[in-house]
Structure 1
Amino acid sequence: MAAGSSTFSVIGPDVTIKGDIAASADLHVDGTIEGDIKCASLVQGETSEVHGAVIAETARLAGRVVGSITARELVILRSARIEGDVHYDALTIEQGAEVDGRFAPNAQRGAKQAVSSPARAKGEDETTLQLTN
C-alpha cells in the first residue's frame, strides 16, 4: 500500500462471513462475522454482529460483539452490546452501552503475561476504567 493512500472495505448488512478476516486497510462492518477480525481500523454498524475476537489499532463499536476485543483506541457507542474481555490503551464508553466482561489496559495485560505472582488471589485483577462523555 502506498504511503498516504487510504483504502477501506465494507461488509454490507446482507452479508454473513464464516471465517477469520485479516485486512491491512480500514474495515466497516454492517453484516455478521463468525470468526476473528484483525485490521487497522474497525467501524461496526448498529445492526452488525461479530462472533469472535477483534484486534485493531482503532475500533468504533456500535453493534454486538461476542468475543475479546484488543484495540489501541477503542470507542464503545451506546448501542453496543459486548460479551467478552476488553483490552485497550485509550477507552471511551458512551452511556447506555452494555459490556459483560473485564476491562484491562494493554500495558497491564503485558505485565501480567511477563510476571505472575503466586501470592495474588485468583480473580483479583487491578483494572482502570476511563469514562468520557
Structure 2
Amino acid sequence: MSNPYDTAAERMSILPPSMRFKGELSADEDLLIQGTIEGTIHHTQRVTIGKEGKIKANISANIIKVEGTVEGDLQAEHSVHVNQSGNLRGNIRAPSVCLVEGSHFNGAVDMDPKRPGQAHSEHGTGRVAAKAKPSASGI
C-alpha cells in the first residue's frame, strides 16, 4: 500500500496562530508552529517556528528553524537556523548553527558534533549574547 502523504507539504502539521497549546508535543512529521506553545517539543523531523509563533519551551528535533519568538533551549541532531525575524532566548546545541544578520539571540552555543543530546562540557561551549543589526554599509 502506498503512503497517502506523497509530498513534504502533506506530511507537515501546522499549528495556526489562533492555537494555544500547553504540555508536551511530539510527532514524526515536519511541524510549522504559528501559534503559542508552552512546555516541551520533541520531534524527529523539522520544527519551524513561524513569524507568528510564540514558544516558551525546550525544543528537540532533527532541524530547528526560528522565524518567530522562542524562550527555551534548542537541541538539534542536524542544525539550528535563526532567521532575520527570529528572536531566541536560550541555549543552542547542534552540529550546525546559523544566525542570520538581523536575528536576535541571547544564550550559549554548543556545536560539538560528537555529543548530540548530552550535557555541556567545558570544551566546545561558548557564551554568546548577540543582537545582530545591519551595518551602515549594508554588508
TM-score by length of 2: 0.74
- 5+ long unaligned stretches in structure 1: 117-123
Deviation at 1:113, TM superposition (A): 4.6
AA matched with 2:72? G
Query: Which aligned pairs between 1:1-16 and structure 2 lie closer than 5 A?
Result: 5=6, 6=8, 7-16=11-20
Is 1:58 matched up with 2:53? no
Is 1:19 matched up with 2:54? no
CA contact 2:111–2:124 (8 Å) conserved in 1: no
Deviation at 1:107, TM superposition (A): 2.8
- 5+ long unaligned stretches in structure 2: 129-138
Tell me, what secondary structure is at the counterpart of 2:30? strand
CA distance in 2, matches of 1:58, 1:75: 8
Which of 72, 82, 103 is matched with 1:76 structurally?
Answer: 82
AA matched with 1:73? S
CA contact 1:58–1:73 (8 Å) conserved in 2: yes
TM-score by length of 1: 0.78
Query: Which aligned pairs between 1:79-94 and structure 2 lie closer than 5 A?
Result: 79-94=85-100
AA matched with 1:97? S
Which structure shows the higher helix fraction?
1
| Identical aligned residues as a percent | 23
| Number of equivalent positions | 120
Cα root mean square deviation, aligned: 2.7
CA contact 1:46–1:79 (8 Å) conserved in 2: yes
